[in-house]
Amino acid sequence: MTKLQQVLYQFFGFHSFKKGQEDIIRSVLSGKDTIAMLPTGGGKSLCYQLPGYMLDGMILIVSPLLSLMEDQVQQLKARGEKRAAALNSMLGRQERQFVLEHIHRYKFLYLSPEALQSSYVLEKLKSVPISLFVIDEAHCISEWGHDFRPDYSKLGQLRKTLGHPPVLALTATATKDTLHDVMNLLELHHAERHLNSVNRPNIALKVENTADTAEKIDRVIQLVENLQGPGIVYCPTRKWAEELAEEIKNKTSSRVDYYHGGMDSGDRMLIQQQFINNQLDVICCTNAFGMGVDKSDIKYVIHFYLPQTAEAFMQEIGRAGRDGKPSVSILLRAPGDFELQEQIIQMESLADGEIANVIRVLEETEERDERKLRELFMQYGITETQSRMIIHLFMQGKTSIDLIKREITYRMELKLEKMRHVAALLHRDGCLRQSLLAYFDETYEPDKGSMPCCSHCGFDLSLYEQKEERVQIAPLDGWRSELHRIFSLKTVGEPN
C-alpha cells in the first residue's frame, strides 16, 4: 500500500481512488499549479482535502455558495476534523472574529471570493502559511463560463497578495474558451492540466416532447409518482419551483418541497438536509440547488424547461447517480420554452435611468463593501446578478451609462448565444450523449451493448421505475432547532 493509499484509507475510509483523483493529488503534492476537471460526483473535494493531511500549511478554498461551504465543512467535521471553518454570513460577528483571531489553528478554511475583498481578512490570511490556494467551481472566473462571478476574476491578483501559493483550480464542466480564461486570469501558464471526461455513462439521457406547459405538468406528476427516487426537478423560475412543488404535493404520494435563492438561508439549509436525510423524495428547484450536495443516491433529474447552457445542463444532470448506479435524466420540451428562457435572460438588462441611479449611489457613498452595496441595490429592485455586474464594472473604472450598458448587453448576448447553442444541440438528430460530449471537444461512439445511452439510442424507462414502497421517515422539526443540531451553529467550536 502506497503512502497515498494509506492516507486515503486513514482519513477517508476508501481503499481506492476514483478515476482522475490520484493524478491530480500527485500534481498538487509536487507543488505544481494544477487545473483539474472532474465530472459532477467525481470527487473533487478529495483532491485538496487529502493533500491537506500531507502538507504543512493551510488549505484555503474559495467557493461560490454558502451551502456548498457549509456542506464541505460539516463533512470534514463528521470525519473528526475540527480544524475546518467557513467564513460566511452564517457566522455571527463574534464567531467570525473568533475564526479570524485563531486563524493559525485552522487547516481547512472556506470563504467566498467576496470575503477575500476585505483588507482585514487578507491581513489575517497573510499571517499564516498557505500550502494550497483552491478555487472551486473555477469556471466562475470566465465570462465564457455559465455562472460568471465578477469577484472570481480578481483571484489572480489576490493570490499574489497572499504570497503566491500553488493553485488548484477545479471545475466539473468547462469548454476550451473557459479553460483559457482560467489560465490567463490566474496566470497559470505552466500549470499541469488534468482534464477528465464530463461523461457519466450510468446516467441515461431522455428528451420528451410535449404539446404545451399543461401537458408538461401532467408528465412531471406522472414521472415523480412512478420513478424510483429520490429525484430533482429543475425549474426556470422561483415561481415555477413553488407552484410545481405544490402540484406534486397535491397529486402524488411523494414528499416534496421547493428550493430557490429567494428563500431564507435557514430554510434553504433545512430543505437541503431533509433531502440528504431521505425525509424528502423530490426537490423542485432553480439552478441554485445542487452544487456540493453530498447525496449519492439521486435516481433521476427532470428538467422542466430548456437549460440555458450545455455546461449547466451537464452539471445538473450530474447530480444523479453519484453512487455509480443506473439513473436517468429527462428533459421535457414544449413550444415556447426557448422564448421563456430568452425573456429571463433579457430581464438582466437595465434602463438608462436605473443605471444612472446606481452610478449616482456608488459615487455618493463611501461604502465599498460589495455585499452591503448589493443588499442596498436589491432594495431598489436591482437583482443580485445585475448588482454584481454593475459594481464590478464601476470598480474597474467604467463609470458611464454607455460603458456599463454596453458591457451588460454584451454579457446578455453571450448568454443568449449559449442558450441558442444548447437548444440546437438538444434538437439534433442522432445520439444525444454524442452531441453533448462534442460540445466539450470529446468524442463518443454509442455502444449498443453497454448501459442505456439516450432516447435516440433507445432504452426502457421502466428500468427506473419504483420497485417497492417508499420508506417513510419522520419529518424534521423546525429549522432553527434542526440546524443547531446538524451544524452546531450555537458555537463555532475551537479547533485543537
Respond yes or no on whether the N-terminal peptide bond of residue 230 is cis (omega within 30° of 0).
Answer: yes
pLDDT in tens, 284-327: 999 888 776 778 899 999 999 989 889 889 989 999 998 889 99
Residue 227, beta-bridge partner list:
465
How far is the C-alpha of 219 from the C-alpha of 217, rounded, in Å? Answer: 5
Average confidence (pLDDT) over 186-212:
91
In whole angstroms, give the CA distance from residue 384 to residue 374.
6
**DSSP string for residues in 203-263:** EEEEEEE-SSHHHHHHHHHHHHHHB-S-EEEE-SSHHHHHHHHHHHHHHSS--EEEE-TTS
Mean pLDDT of 235-247: 94
State the residue for C-alpha cell 452546531.
Answer: 488
**Dihedral sign for Cα atoms in the order 438, 440, 443, 449:** negative
Length of the chain: 496
Q: What's the pTM value of the predicted model, to 2 decimals?
A: 0.83
Cα separation, 431 vs 442, in Å, equals 14
Domains along the chain? 3-196 (3.40.50.300), 203-341+428-465 (3.40.50.300), 348-418 (no CATH)
Main-chain phi, psi angles of 52, to 5 degrees: -60, -30
Assess whether pLDDT exceeds 90 at residue 356. Answer: no
Kindly state the average pLDDT of the residues 114-127: 87
- Average pLDDT of the chain? 85
Calpha distance 384→365 (Å, rounded): 19
Q: Residues 61-90: pLDDT tens digits? A: 998 877 778 778 888 888 889 999 988 767
